[in-house]
Amino acid sequence: MGALDGIKVIDLSHVLAAPFATMIMADLGAEVVKVEPPFGDDSRQFGPFVEDEAGEQQSGYFISINRNKKSIVLNLKEEKGKEILRDLISDADVVVENYRPTTMKKLGFSYEEMKKIKKDIIYCSICGFGHDALEEYASKPAYDMVAQAYSGLMSITGPEGGEPCRVGSSIGDIMAGHQAVIGILSALRHRDRTGKGQHVDMSMVDGLVSVLENAIARYTMEGEIPGPLGGAHPTIVPFQSFKTKDNYIVTPIGNDSLWKKFCDALEMPELADDERFKTNPLRAENKDELIPILAKRIKEKNTAEWEEVFEEYGLPYSPVNTVDKVVEDDNLKYRDMIVDLEQPGIGKVKVAGSPFHLSETPGEIKSHAPAKGEHTDSVLKGSLGLTDAQIKEMKSQGIIG
């Protein structure tokens, strides 16, 4: 049983932010019907690719974020296609989309229109700068990279004093996707108590600004414009990544007693006695002298050797795992965070699992990512009561697929 069993979501989403939101909801038990245009979700064309039995290239990108969903194909340029969407909405709890703000309006599916179809619908939009935005912003195209750059997150990520770097995953899309789920679940609670639906108007830039954390306070309270700090903590030393002989390791040495142990672990007890490095404020002040000494020493052994030493001394540390290590990690396997998805015509595909470890209703992967239009027939027959003949005719007319 899933916590969100019984919730019906019409998913007019593409690529990443909104598909991520509906994936989370589907993992938790919601019924998600993904409505794709005849050419399919754009991300079906995104690599990495995996070959199916028929020798066709299937998108691993699409597969990894669309499990547990149904797919139907609707041509919303046709009036009859719009009529079917209206019928689907009238039976749904939630609609999610991430087109530009004007797109749904042009199609005749603004929130105002949707309310006429179903009074208490919860309509969640995700876009770059918000539906309710200043005019010159509302029409701007949204890419993850734009959100990362515009929000300030990129300006604080990267090597110290160096170029700003994008977070290696599309965190602008993904954060907004998570926030959309929180907004939707909150709105569902409000609906259940009051009978009222609402518009959940999420923005990718808002989403990242809300997670800048102490960077905003550092500027507004101390006047400092924060820049990137590489792998290091702004004020605690040594709380950063170091290069080992073969890779990297982080050593968050958060207090002076850990510092003493750390020096012993490095077999450099003389450092613990060095007046320049006795307390954290001193280590921060004399960082430029200290870090090269530590860096030189840590480079002498492999990551695995240091792990063993730091474990023995009870120090906090972590290897900077590359993705191959993550996929093979024992605890992540135990936590079902790396799972085999059985994909028809392809076989087992490894994807990230659900992080929602709820003791009674855990997030679960129950079915594969759908082929384009895989559920057109079953959904239109089951939910809308269409006949085989009607479906056949609409297919021949290019209204559904």
Show contacts with a second copy in window 107-166 (CB under 8 A): 111, 129-130, 132-134, 137, 140-141, 143, 145-146, 149-159, 162-166
| Region from 82-90, 269-277, 319-327, 371-379 binding a second copy, contact rule CB under 8 A | 319-327
Scanning residues 10 to 39, which ones bind a second copy (CB under 8 A)? 16, 24, 28
Residue 324 contacts a second copy per CB under 8 A: yes
Confirm or reject binding of residue 238 to a second copy (CB under 8 A). Answer: no
Residue 390 Cβ, how far from a second copy at the closest point, in Å? Answer: 35
Distance (Å) of CA 262 to CA 27, 255, 271, 282, 294: 42, 10, 10, 16, 10
Closest distance between a second copy and the C-beta of residue 312, in Å?
13
Contact between 85 and a second copy (CB under 8 A)?
A: no
**Comparison of 52 and 377: residue with beta carbon closer to a second copy:** 52
Given a contact cutoff of 8 angstroms between Cβ atoms, the answer to whether 284 and 236 are in contact is yes
Q: What minimum distance in Å lies between the beta carbon of 10 and a second copy?
A: 18
Q: Measured between alpha carbons, how far is residue 296 from residues 22, 215, 241, 290, 308 in Å?
A: 48, 31, 13, 10, 19
- Judged by CB under 8 A, the chain residues 166 through 195 that form the site for a second copy are 166-171, 174-175, 178-179, 181-183, 185-190, 192
End-to-end CA distance of the chain: 31
Report which of 241, 221, 305, 213 is spatially closest to residue 267, judged by C-alpha positions: 305
List 11, 41, 93, 173, catalytic entry: 173
Identify the residue among 8, 37, 49, 113 touching a second copy (CB under 8 A): 49
Q: How far is CA 264 from CA 236, 260, 268, 269, 314, in A?
A: 19, 6, 6, 5, 11
Q: If binding is defined by CB under 8 A, does position 327 make contact with a second copy?
A: yes
Tokens encoding 264:
């012993």
Q: Identify the DSSP state of 38.
A: T
255 binds a second copy (CB under 8 A): no
Print the binding letters for residues 341-360 with a second copy: x by CB under 8 A, - otherwise: --------xxxxxxxxxxxx
173 catalytic? Reply is yes
- CA separation for the pair 57, 45 (Å, rounded): 9
Tell me the C-alpha distance between 279 and 350, whole Å: 46
Nearest to a second copy of 232, 290 (CB atom):
232
**Which sequence positions are flagged as catalytic?**
173
